[in-house]
Copies of this chain bind each other. A is one copy, B any other.
Amino acid sequence: MLMQTIRTNSTPVPGRPQFGTFETGLFASAAELSGMSLSYGRDEEIYGEGEDAEFVYKVASGAVRTYKLMRDGRRQIGEFHLAGDFFGFDIGGRHHLTAEAVIDSKVLVFKRRQVEAVVAHNLDAARELWLMTANHLQHAEDHMLLLGRKTARERLAAFLLEMDARNGDTGLIELPMLRRDIADYLGLTLETVSRSFSELQCEGVVELDGARHVTLRKRAMLEAMGA
Q: Is the contact region of chain A dominated by helix, strand, or loop, or is it mixed? A: helix
Pick the contact of A91: B70, B123, B134, B150 (CB < 8 A): B134
The interface of chain A, by Cβ under 8 A from chain B, is 68, 70-71, 74-76, 78, 89-91, 96-97, 119-121, 123, 126-127, 129-131, 133-138, 140-145, 147-150, 184, 186-187, 227
Given A120-B127, A127-B126, A144-B144, the answer on whether A149 and B96 have CB atoms closer than 8 Å is no
Whether the pair B76, A144 counts as a contact (CB closer than 8 A) is: yes
B227/A142 in contact, CB under 8 A: no
Residue numbers in B under 8 Å from A184 (CB-CB): 148
Chain B min CB distance to A62 (Å): 22
CB atoms of A78 and B144 under 8 A apart:
yes
Q: Which 4 pairs from chain A and chain B are nearest by CB?
A: A148-B187, A140-B140, A147-B147, A126-B126
Extra contacts, 8 of them, besides A68-B145, A75-B149 (Cβ < 8 A), are A78-B141, A91-B138, A97-B141, A121-B123, A123-B123, A130-B130, A133-B133, A144-B144
